[in-house]
Chains A and B, each alone.
Chain A
Amino acid sequence: MQTLHLELQEGFDDDRVVARLNGVEFLSLDHVTTRMQTGFAAAGSTQAADGKAVLEVSLPASGQQASTEINLIQPLWAGVNAGPGKAIQFRISQAPFGYV
């Protein structure tokens, strides 16, 4: 089993965010808001079997949804950013993100 850390970063403003890994919901948060000092909004994590997996994040209020395939052979950190029009962007890292 490997751990996937999901970190909601820039662009959230009182949003509801739902995240699923291989179709299983593991994060559902209301009122997600980015703290502008740090560019960090909220975080969650889940575990899954080693191998390829599909991470899917949606913002139901704006109808935005995006997914990305990840290779979970070690702990991974997925940064999720909401760009213009709340378009969802992923940043996948093998190391924790840092915020200042």
Chain B
Amino acid sequence: MRVQDTPAGVMQPATLAEPAEQENIEALDLPISIPPLLVSASGLYLWNTSVPLPSIASKLALDDSGPTDQLDIVFPLTSERLCLDIDGRYPQMTASGTITRLLSQQTHWIAKLKPGPNPNQYLGSIWYKDGNVAAFPYTNVEILVTTSIFPGLRKAVAIFTGGGAAKRVRGYQYESPYFHPVQFEFDCTADAKPVFAIQTHAHPNRPASLPNETLTLQKVYQRAGFDVTTSPSPSIVPLAGAGANGKWSDQEMHDAMQVYWSKFANKAQWALWTFFAAQHEQGSSLGGIMFDDIGPNHRQGTAIFTNSFIAVPPPGDPNPAAWINRMVFWTAGHEMGHAFNLAHSWQKAMGVPWIPGLANEPEARSFMNYPYNVAGGQTAFFSNFQFRFSDQELLFLRHAPARYVQMGNAAWFDHHGFEQARVLPEPTFKLEARVNRAEARFDFLEPITLDLKLTNTSSQPQLIEDKILEELEHMTVIIKKDGKEARSFHPYANRCWEEKKRVLNPGQATYQSLFISAGRNGWDISEPGRYTVQLCIHLEAEDIVSPPLQLRISPPRSYDEEYLAQDLLTDEVGRILSFDGSRVLGSGLDILNTLVEQLPDSRAALHAKVALASPLVRDGKSLDMSRLPDGQLVSARDAQATLLVQRADFGVGARLFRDALLAKPQLAAETLSHFDYHYYVDRFSDALEEQGRQDEAADAQSTLLHTLQQRKVIQPVLESIRLRERDLRGGN
């Protein structure tokens, strides 16, 4: 079902799929300034290499009409979109664009516009960039619009200037009055009383200027800029799904979503499930919730509870039935807003906003505010509520990078912001992520550890944090599998180091490793296929972005590998590999032992041996909570926990270390990463030395030296290994 309404406020004949749903003069009811016969220019425009725009190009000077961007010549597979938001309903006087190169690298920009001196001309400065910003140095944009009552004749030309780059000109063809598509599906339980539409004048407490209309949830989101389609008819979700108590937990709703939502998929998509039920297990104080912060793909499902406080009108309300309808409708619009990653109005500045400096809007007359928390309470709120989102929210919905808004993409409340990358024309540092192998191809199940290198490329010594490459809270790591949306990597732990600076001289580099297969998001890199990995370090004055690193994961070579993957790609195993072993995660350790037994020559087994060996070569501590009664969560003190010393099994650990590190040292250095290989051999040497086996420790260092020498590791590192070996051999 498609209901026609557009953010532009004027019907677009080319997009009228179902004229019967049309309300042709609807736009006239609204407090907007466009006369009916004037066609608005707002909407989505597209450019790609197969869309020539000769008539537009001819209006430009000759020096603007040639190839406009060196990267477009190098990477011809480019597509580009322009979102123009300059008139119609709630205009934000903003243009934004996304440039996609090689189908994966993206650059996103946003500019604030004002009318230029000529008709249909808009000028603006670009204030936000995201993605591959090094390829987009421009700081200003001029937009020339060709309007027409025929959508096919609508065009826009953008001229990008500034940033020390040559002028860049793009012509775009009008595509749609909406900025993004979205599909809604509404399901409900038999005991729920869903509200999908209201009559805006049904309740007497309303703004005097509010048009009298039948307002649907679809229209609300169409006016926010979305091309809304709706699944045909609601399903009735059996009450049995709510368990014995008839109330719904988040997990039960997540399960129901997977069964009853026809569009459900564990991936990012412009689609949303809205579920009406009677009551949440939290009770009648919860009117609705965007319950889906479960699993890797958040924000796909949202719920409204009609047997809750939202169905209790204030005593003496002049039209209680209309009050309830409006409140349920408002709640649905609110919860669906969370699925678009909109925060509450008073939470805008919390967490990681998508742009720095977002202000809270505690008095906003928006779907995202609580009516009963504004000054004057819900009566004051609804007396001035136009059933819309705030300008700040519309800016986000229409112009933020799509991955922050799209359901199932960025995690809930995460980037309701991504900080703008501030890449200088001549960056002070160069950041590289490397895999030190001829082809960046990895075996199935092979854990991936990157070698990171940060080089001072300036002509001056630079002061850096000593652990700059270990402080992942200042680093953004993006992982994108081909055909899927990019995801931000979240490590299992962020370390907090004492602040300590050191000098990095011109040309000097600092190194670190980064295990990126698994983290708090699960196993981000596991399935066979191609991936792109890109890092950004956020420094005080600038952001340093690495070139994209393309990786490939090979398909499984045997049924055994495929079968083992089901057990291996778990949170426990991810943690054991990330933390170099464990003394307590028993089932994960069992799986790694099975891996070593079943696939002893695999690269994955090599990683497993290191993780199994590390805790065995030394005594270690573990927290004994065995006196904790089943099912209770209490503090370690209350559980009378004690620290146990777990004795080393040096023989077993040393054998595993020898197998992993010294039997095939070239292979080990390649799969473990140069940095980690060095680190593990040092750890093993330390353990051997503690056991009084200096000669064996020296031999391990000798193997390390020759291995890294052959792999052309820099001289200072080799020299330090030489010295260590010499010390171990008694200075001879």
A39-B334 CB under 8 A given contacts A97-B285, A98-B310, A99-B286: no
A-B contact count (CB 8 A): 48
- Cα distance A36–B309 when bound, in Å? 19
Contact of A100 among B289, B291, B346, B635 (CB under 8 A): B289
- Cα distance A39–B346 when bound, in Å? 10
B338 and A37 contacting across the interface, CB-CB below 8 Å? yes
B331 and A36 contacting across the interface, CB-CB below 8 Å? no
B287 and A98 contacting across the interface, CB-CB below 8 Å? yes
User: How far apart are B374's CB and chain A's nearest CB, in angstroms?
Assistant: 14
A36 and B347 contacting across the interface, CB-CB below 8 Å? yes
Consensus secondary structure, chain B interface: loop
A36 and B286 contacting across the interface, CB-CB below 8 Å? no
Q: 1/0 per position for A79-100, CB-CB distance to B under 8 A?
A: 0000000000000000011111
- Cα distance A10–B370 when bound, in Å? 13
A100 and B350 contacting across the interface, CB-CB below 8 Å? no
Q: 1/0 per position for A3-39, CB-CB distance to B under 8 A?
A: 0000000100000000000000000001000001111
B413 and A36 contacting across the interface, CB-CB below 8 Å? yes
User: How far apart are A64's CB and chain B's nearest CB, in angstroms?
Assistant: 18
User: How far apart are B82's CB and chain A's nearest CB, in angstroms?
Assistant: 32
Interface centre among B282, B284, B285, B286 (most CB of A within 10 A): B285
A99-B343 CB under 8 A given contacts A36-B350, A37-B338: no
A100 and B370 contacting across the interface, CB-CB below 8 Å? yes
- What chain B residues lie within 8 Å of A98 (beta carbons)? 285-287, 308-310, 370, 372
Asked whether B443 is an interface residue with its Cβ less than 8 Å from the other chain, the reply is no
Q: 1/0 per position for B325-346, CB-CB distance to A under 8 A?
A: 0000001001100100001101
Interface centre among A10, A39, A99 (most CB of B within 10 A): A99
- What chain A residues lie within 8 Å of B343 (beta carbons)? 36
- Cα distance A73–B291 when bound, in Å? 36
B635 and A30 contacting across the interface, CB-CB below 8 Å? yes
A100 and B413 contacting across the interface, CB-CB below 8 Å? no
- Cα distance A100–B336 when bound, in Å? 11
A37 and B309 contacting across the interface, CB-CB below 8 Å? no
CB closest residue in chain A, given B351: A36
- What chain A residues lie within 8 Å of B334 (beta carbons)? 100
CB closest residue in chain B, given A16: B635
CB closest residue in chain B, given A38: B289
B285 and A99 contacting across the interface, CB-CB below 8 Å? yes
Q: 1/0 per position for B290-310, CB-CB distance to A under 8 A?
A: 110100000000000000111
Q: Which 5 A/B pairs are nearest by Cβ-Cβ distance?
A: A98-B309, A100-B287, A100-B288, A36-B413, A37-B290
**Interface set of B (CB-CB < 8 Å, partner A):** 282, 284-291, 293, 308-310, 331, 334-335, 338, 343-344, 346-347, 350-351, 370, 372, 412-413, 635
Knowing that A36-B344, A37-B293, A38-B289 are A-B contacts, what are 13 other residue pairs whose CB atoms are under 8 Å apart, sorted by A's residue number?
A36-B347, A36-B350, A37-B289, A38-B286, A39-B344, A39-B347, A96-B284, A96-B309, A98-B285, A99-B289, A100-B286, A100-B331, A100-B370
What would 15 A/B residue contacts be, using CB atoms closer than 8 Å?
A: A36-B350, A36-B351, A36-B412, A39-B347, A96-B284, A96-B285, A96-B309, A98-B286, A98-B287, A98-B308, A99-B282, A99-B285, A99-B289, A100-B331, A100-B370
